[in-house]
Amino acid sequence: MLSSFFVLSPRGDTVIQREYRFNSSEEKGGEVVVVKDLKACIEAFHRKVRFWADQDTNLQSLTKNNDDFYQPKQDAPPVFSLHGETYIHIKRGGLIFACSTPYNVSPGSTLELLNKIAKVFKDYCGTLSEEAIRKNFILLYELLDEMLDYGYPQVTSTEGLKMYVHNTPIPTAQVATESVKMGGGKTKSANSVHKPVSVGGQRGKEGNKNEIFVDILERLNVLFSPNGYVLNSSIDGNIQMKSYLAGNPELRLALNEDLVVGGKEEEGYGKVVLDDLNFNECVNLAEFDDSRTLTFYPPDGEFVLLNYRITNDFRVPFKMLPAVTELSSNKLEVLLTLRNEIPQANYGANVQVRVPVPRNTGTVFCEPVGGEGCEQNAEYLANERKVLWTIKKFPGSTEMTIKIKLSLDTACTSQTRKEIGPVSMNFEIPMFNVSNLQVRYLRIAEGGGKAPFRWVRYVTQSSSYVCRM
Amino acid sequence: MHSGASGVFKGPTTTSSMPQPSGPVSAPPPTGDSYFTDARRGEVSELRALLKTFPVERSLTRRRDVIKKVIAYMTLGIDVSRLFTEMILAVEDRDLVIKKMVYLYLTTYAQNSPDLAQMCTNTLQKDTSNDDPIIRGLALRSLCSLRVESMVEYVLDPLRRSLGDSNAYVRKTAVMGVLKLHDLNPELVTELTETVRGMVGDVDTMVVVNVIRTLNEIKRKEGGMQVDRKEMLGLLNRIQEFDEFGLSEVLGLLLKYKPQGKEEMFAIMNLLDPVLRTSNSGSVLGTIRCFLKLTSSIPGMGEMVCQRVKPPVLTLVAGGTPELVYVLLTHLKHLAQISPETFSPDYRQLYVRYNEPSHVKYLKVEVLGLLANEENGLDIITELSEYVSDPDGKLGVLAVRAISEVGCSDRCLLSGGQGGIGEVVVEKLVELTGLDVPHVSSAAASCLKDVARKHPDMRGLIAPVLPRCARAITEEKGLASTVWMLGEMGEMITEAPYVLERMVDGDGWEGYGGEVKISLLTAAVKLFFKRPGEMQGILGKCLVKSSADATSQELHDRALLYYRLLAEGGEQAEAVVAGTDQNVDRARKFAEEQDSETFKRLRDEFNTLSIVYSQEEKHWCQEEFRGFGGRTDVSEGEVKVVQDAFGGSVVIEPTSASLPPPQQQQQVGEPAAAAGDTYEDLLGFASDEPASVTVAPPSPPAPSVSLNPNFTLDGGSFQSMWQSLPEACSSLSPSTGSHTPNSVEDALRKLSILTMASGETAGEIKLFLYCQEEGGGGVYLVQVLIDKNCEPRVASVTVKTKGGKEPDTVMGMVHNGMGNVGF
């Protein structure tokens, strides 16, 4: 039971706001008093989110400290309390979707509700941006009124809302899509389709497309020790879809037949072994245990069909091998070699490597060694105290190296050495997945007319890909 | 005007390009109340002029645009309530889009102009009987949302009619409407509330869900909506039809439901198990809460629940959005406290990732500290050490604290001493005190103090570095801790007096904070008792400086206190100041660690904000908003009555074989009977044996003892004996017949077991009985509780005795006696 819902632009302007019980005036001792003013509360909320400061008294000395190197750079938690009201918010596409409540609600469900609202907004506008929301505000209020009544969620699914919604979306001019990263950067190809779901009478027109986008996306978390060993590794994977199928047919999707769930590596040598996985509510699992087949009616718009998690060892796509040499008391040399271990046919795209350097760094000289013919660049970002090395396209089964020379303002101590690193790496590998999880087939379950266009893509991304020094 | 459609927020600047049937708009008529018409007022007036054209405008797009502009202004926060009269006219429009916009306007401003709002009720009322269910629902929703009390009477009729509408959309809106009206005028809707109560079996789940919500709020004072067994099972059987938010309401009801025995409990859990495979965090956490609640009375089950839910929770954490991960981690932390061993093997999944938001990192560090045990302790300490010099200073401090947490953890104590984890922790912290990062070295010193209190045998490792710490550490907390340790362990450090002397006597004194000065004073006194010769002079100086210090009242007072104590004589002073902390029991918790009670109560508030805040609802939630988190305080209150009758807590020992498990009624706080093998397969817990379920032997059919038929006991002494005596034995047995307090009393009186008090409520029969062995021997006190809610009924008998040697025999007699009336 929410008392208000609102959407804020990156600057903090209220773009959408709806009160449910917020401004309820109350009788106290025969006198009617207005308890709160939503506008003022939203402002207070926004200040709090922007300048989050910790209340922990034990850490006060830290904030008093003049040394800004160790200043906590804190993010406001998604759930916090302000003047007796709990505010819960998420950030999507640079916007803040937030709600408030004085009740002891379930934070998990409330966040899922905000996610759902953001998803529905995106499905109906085609994209999630301040411009899209401002242009479509009437439609969004209409949606919101059906989704929330008196602060309680009602109809929240994109397709369920269609019959109640009568405004039509106003498309926004699409700016360079690359800069707009949505859904926490979790999506790729399905995300590049920024068209709104069809509403009401438009259905037939849009239905001609009859296509479905399927992404198998794996995000890697790998932690290397300074000598290149893998200390910790895991894969967070999901299968994401965006359906524009005519007539909403039932679909069958088959995964690797030998998929092992919840097993240890020994049991499934050579097989795909998942620790665990979960499914969208729409999925029927009747055949999953026997044939690893899922059946479902795809909901409209973008959705995650399933999530999986792998912690067993896997072949990491890139190895990082750092070496630090002390040339003199105030000169250090860092040599970092990246070894690309994926097949030659594949490549790493948009590789970015960040090497933090010590506080007392004076000047930095950095230059890639070898790797001619690759579009690459190394630069020192002084205000971040980091060397940024970018490689546009990193071919499979090759090696690249960067040499960084640091001259320090003061002599090198063990503390200085500790401040080098950890090296973090961002990348994307198109048409490749590490776990070998495959979509064997995706078809319309029963007869169902002509086959739709299926766009199946495999993508591997870095999540937290880090090497300690 | 067409350009207005794409730029509604730019204001009505393009009016000139649009045909204006009713004259120019560029010169708005001056409003009477103000000469200083500012820009916005001007805009609103322009809007009014536009609205005047509305009824004659033929083009649908233009009509829509006019209304849209008004709404645009409204959502920008510009007050357009002055246009109320004009907007009410627009409500007659047939276009649904316009209708919706006007309704939105009306619900926003009706409160401000209740009199005008009456004007639109006719249209709204009429629309509630429209042929189109969408319009019916829409009109009803708006009508109920006007929040104008004087209009409640106009709403009642349409509302009553709509509750029985053939369309589910209208019904669900009507149910919510009852709640809205209730908040305006509770008396008027009592009759409608009854109708709503009858709709819990509606074919449409959305209606059902709104029924639950409405009744939970209306009946909040009685603990929200109550359902009987049939209704609850009915809801559970169609659980798949509910969407994620509906599911959470049903799960909320389930928290209040007590399953009839274990089989039903496990059946319910099996039914809910598929929810754990979905990717919805709210549903999964809600299900876990139900599992915890259902099993709360069975010892050891909490751990099994944790084992079952661990994989799904970790998967949600791995793949969730940062916001969800934060909330999930707060819950994971709670689960990890219920059963640390379950989560310990997965510690690696909680390693901090460099790109996470800071609050997620902080939580992970805390949880890592909790998960440490013998096996992973070293790994975790190594990992935490990596975070210590993180650019985020808070993460560094938290990592240091987590390391010391590992050192103080009971689960790592087994290998304390030489080479154990405790020693590794101390060595690590000692190393960190030498780090050239002020907040880290200070935090390490503070933590060393805690570890030193917990592990007195580690002092030998800590003491040598203290003089260095006293020189190097600059932050107040860390320095104060160092000085405190100097006082505690001064006898092991040759130069300790000189370190203190330098601090007391040097130029630094003025610069120290109050905390450091107080520590110095205390340390000087403590060390004085150990090394009086070296310390006397220093102590004197310290006392003088402290009592003369005007910056801290506490310091001044404490100096005087010590001075007077010392003047009384050294031994007394030592007893007071030095205390006896040499032999702290390792397994004992410090006062600050003892929050297990809060923790237990927090378990009842799993999947609510209380877990995020780590505080019970009553500490942060205003009274008027409490009670929706699904806490079941009401039923706990009932149980309390049972227990408080004579102050003694009633514990029912399970008697295994004789008891048919499904009928057993569970009560909070009672370890329940368990037929061991029912645990095994139902939840797929495979090899986990129920560890702590004790099975008592069946009570033997014993020969009777001869009792004194003329013994009497007054109520007061019965009560005081009942409270003070330990329980001798207790048992449970099923019964088939019907019985009243009188029939049981009569039957037992024949055996010379006499009645002290008896009573009957809707749920149970309760008797307190007593008897004495023939010849003035032992006295027996007996409590008999017959639970009428179970079929067959279950009687629990508890016997206490003063000086009696045969409590089991007496119990047998009670059972035999009751057997004659149907037991």
Mean pLDDT of B769-782: 80
Residue numbers in B near A138 (CB within 8 A): 68, 71, 97, 101
- Helix (H), strand (E) at residue A386: strand A386-395
| Minimum-distance CB partner of B315 among A62, A115, A277 | A277
The domains of chain A, with CATH numbers, are 4-164 (3.30.450.60), 189-312+442-447 (2.60.40.1170), 318-430 (2.60.40.1170)
Q: For B549-589, how does the pLDDT look when each residue is reduced to its tens digit (9 = 90+)?
A: 888 888 989 899 988 888 887 777 887 777 655 444 444 45
- CB contact (8 A) between residue B245 and residue A72: no
Residues 559-578 of B with CB under 8 A from A: none
Mean pLDDT of B800-807: 78
The domains of chain B, with CATH numbers, are 494-580 (no CATH), 594-634 (no CATH), 702-819 (3.30.310.10)
Tell me: pLDDT of B805 over 50: yes
Q: Check residue B310 and give its pLDDT.
A: 94
- CB contact (8 A) between residue A61 and residue B476: yes
**How many other CB atoms sit within 10 Å of the CB of residue B21?**
9
Q: Which long-range contacts (CB under 8 A, 24 or more apart) does A118-123 make?
A: A118/A90, A118/A92, A119/A158, A119/A301, A119/A302, A119/A303, A120/A147, A120/A156, A120/A157, A120/A158, A120/A161, A120/A301, A122/A92, A122/A93, A122/A182, A122/A301, A122/A302, A123/A158, A123/A196, A123/A197, A123/A300, A123/A301, A123/A302
Residues 420-439 of B with CB under 8 A from A: 435-439
Copy the structure tokens of residue A413.
Answer: 């101590």
- Are B165 and B171 in contact by the 8 Å Cβ rule? The answer is yes
- Rounded Cα–Cα distance for residues B642 and B640 (Å): 5
3-class secondary structure per residue, B107-136: HHHCCCCHHHHHHHHHHHHHHCCCCCHHHH
- Which residues are within 8 A (CB) of B469 and not within 5 positions of it... i.e. 6 or more apart? B433, B441, B445, B478, B482
Q: For B354-408, how does the pLDDT look when each residue is reduced to its tens digit (9 = 90+)?
A: 889 999 999 999 999 999 988 888 899 999 999 998 888 889 999 999 998 888 8
ipTM passes above 0.95: no
Q: Which of A22-26, A120-124, A284-288, A435-439 has the lowest mean pLDDT?
A: A22-26
| Minimum-distance CB partner of A103 among B280, B436, B625 | B625
Q: What single string gives the DSSP state of each residue in B248-284? A: HHHHHHHHT---SSHHHHHHHHHHHGGGGGBS-HHHH
Per DSSP, chain B holds a count of helices (H) and strands (E) of 38, 5
Give which of A75, A149, A249 is closest to B356, Cα–Cα: A75
Tell me: pLDDT of A6 over 80: yes
Q: Which of A38, A69, A144, A149 would best serve as a mutation to test chain B binding (most B beta carbons within 10 A)?
A: A149
Tell me: pLDDT of B686 over 90: no
End-to-end CA distance of chain B: 87
Look at strands A386-395 and A376-381 and give their pairing.
antiparallel
The residue whose two tokens read 């919604």 is A165
- CB contact (8 A) between residue A61 and residue B475: yes
CA distance A117 to chain B (A): 13
User: What share of chain B in percent tops pLDDT 90?
Assistant: 25
Tell me: pLDDT of B522 over 50: yes
Q: Check residue B547 and give its pLDDT.
A: 87
| Minimum-distance CB partner of B357 among A75, A152, A153 | A75
Residue numbers in B near A309 (CB within 8 A): 314-315, 318-319
Q: For B250-304, how does the pLDDT look when each residue is reduced to its tens digit (9 = 90+)?
A: 999 999 999 988 899 999 999 999 999 999 999 999 999 999 999 988 888 889 9
Q: Check residue B18 and give its pLDDT.
A: 37
Tell me: pLDDT of B791 over 90: no
Tell me: pLDDT of A464 over 80: yes
- Helix (H), strand (E) at residue B533: helix B532-548
Q: Which residues pair with A222 in a beta bridge?
A: A233, A465
Q: For A384-435, how does the pLDDT look when each residue is reduced to its tens digit (9 = 90+)?
A: 889 999 999 999 999 999 999 999 998 888 878 888 879 999 999 999 999 9
Q: Check residue A67 and give its pLDDT.
A: 55
Angle subtended by helix axes B514-530 and B553-568, to nearest 10: 10
Mean pLDDT of B653-680: 33
Q: Which of B2, B323, B473 would best serve as a mutation to test chain A binding (most A beta carbons within 10 A)?
A: B323
Mean pLDDT of chain B: 78
Q: For A259-277, how does the pLDDT look when each residue is reduced to its tens digit (9 = 90+)?
A: 888 866 565 567 888 999 9
pTM here is 0.78
CA distance A32 to chain B (A): 13
- Are B545 and B537 in contact by the 8 Å Cβ rule? The answer is no
Residue numbers in B near A39 (CB within 8 A): 77
- CB contact (8 A) between residue A464 and residue B358: no
Q: Check residue B639 and give its pLDDT.
A: 32
DSSP B621: S
Mean pLDDT of B25-35: 39
| Minimum-distance CB partner of A14 among B77, B280, B319 | B77
Q: How confident is the model at residue A187 (pLDDT cuts 50, 70, 90)?
A: very low
Q: Check residue B333 and give its pLDDT.
A: 93
Give which of B437, B424, B347, B325 is closest to B390, Cα–Cα: B437
Between A363 and B411, residue with greater pLDDT = A363
- CB contact (8 A) between residue B281 and residue A111: yes
- CB contact (8 A) between residue A79 and residue B327: yes
Q: How confident is the model at residue A120 (pLDDT cuts 50, 70, 90)?
A: very high
- Which residues are within 8 A (CB) of B341 and not within 5 positions of it... i.e. 6 or more apart? B303, B373, B411
Q: For A41-94, how does the pLDDT look when each residue is reduced to its tens digit (9 = 90+)?
A: 899 999 999 888 766 555 555 555 545 556 656 789 999 998 888 999 999 989
Residues 351-410 of B with CB under 8 A from A: 351, 353-359, 386, 389, 391-397
Q: Please, what sign has the CA dihedral across residues B242, B244, B249, B251? A: positive
Exposed (0-12), middle (13-18) or buried (19+): which is B23, by Cβ within 10 Å?
exposed
Tell me: pLDDT of B664 over 50: no
Q: What single string gives the DSSP state of each residue in B441-485? A: HHHHHHHHHHHHHH-GGGHHHHGGGHHHHHHH--SHHHHHHHHHH
- Which residues are within 8 A (CB) of B120 and not within 5 positions of it... i.e. 6 or more apart? B88, B91, B106
- Are B772 and B711 in contact by the 8 Å Cβ rule? The answer is yes
Residue numbers in A near B368 (CB within 8 A): none
Is B172 at the interface with chain A, CB within 8 A? yes
Cβ contacts from A onto B, under 8 A:
269
Copy the structure tokens of residue B772.
Answer: 């004495």
Between B668 and B421, residue with greater pLDDT = B421
CA distance A450 to chain B (A): 31
The residue whose two tokens read 């017949």 is B737
- Are A278 and A306 in contact by the 8 Å Cβ rule? The answer is yes
Residue numbers in B near A236 (CB within 8 A): 318-319
- CB contact (8 A) between residue A74 and residue B314: no
Question: Residue A189, SS3?
Answer: coil
Amino acid at A466: V
Which residue on chain B is closest to A106 by alpha carbon?
B608
Tell me: pLDDT of B198 over 60: yes
- Which residues are within 8 A (CB) of A414 and not within 5 positions of it... i.e. 6 or more apart? none
- CB contact (8 A) between residue B321 and residue A184: yes
Copy the structure tokens of residue B330.
Answer: 């707060």
Tell me: pLDDT of B483 over 80: yes
Q: Check residue B696 and give its pLDDT.
A: 39
- CB contact (8 A) between residue B315 and residue A275: yes
Is B700 at the interface with chain A, CB within 8 A? no
- Rounded Cα–Cα distance for residues A432 and B522 (Å): 66
Q: Count Cα atoms within 13 angstroms, Cβ side, for B742.
A: 0
- Helix (H), strand (E) at residue A221: strand A211-224
3-class secondary structure per residue, B191-202: HHHHHHHCCCCC
Q: Check residue B792 and give its pLDDT.
A: 61
Q: How confident is the model at residue A196 (pLDDT cuts 50, 70, 90)?
A: low
| Minimum-distance CB partner of A62 among B134, B393, B611 | B393
Tell me: pLDDT of A181 over 60: no
- What is the Rg, in whole angstroms, of the alpha carbon atoms belonging to chain B? 37
Mean pLDDT of B434-443: 87
| Minimum-distance CB partner of A104 among B321, B442, B626 | B626
- Rounded Cα–Cα distance for residues A156 and B199 (Å): 22
Is B667 at the interface with chain A, CB within 8 A? no
Amino acid at B262: K
- Are B759 and B823 in contact by the 8 Å Cβ rule? The answer is no
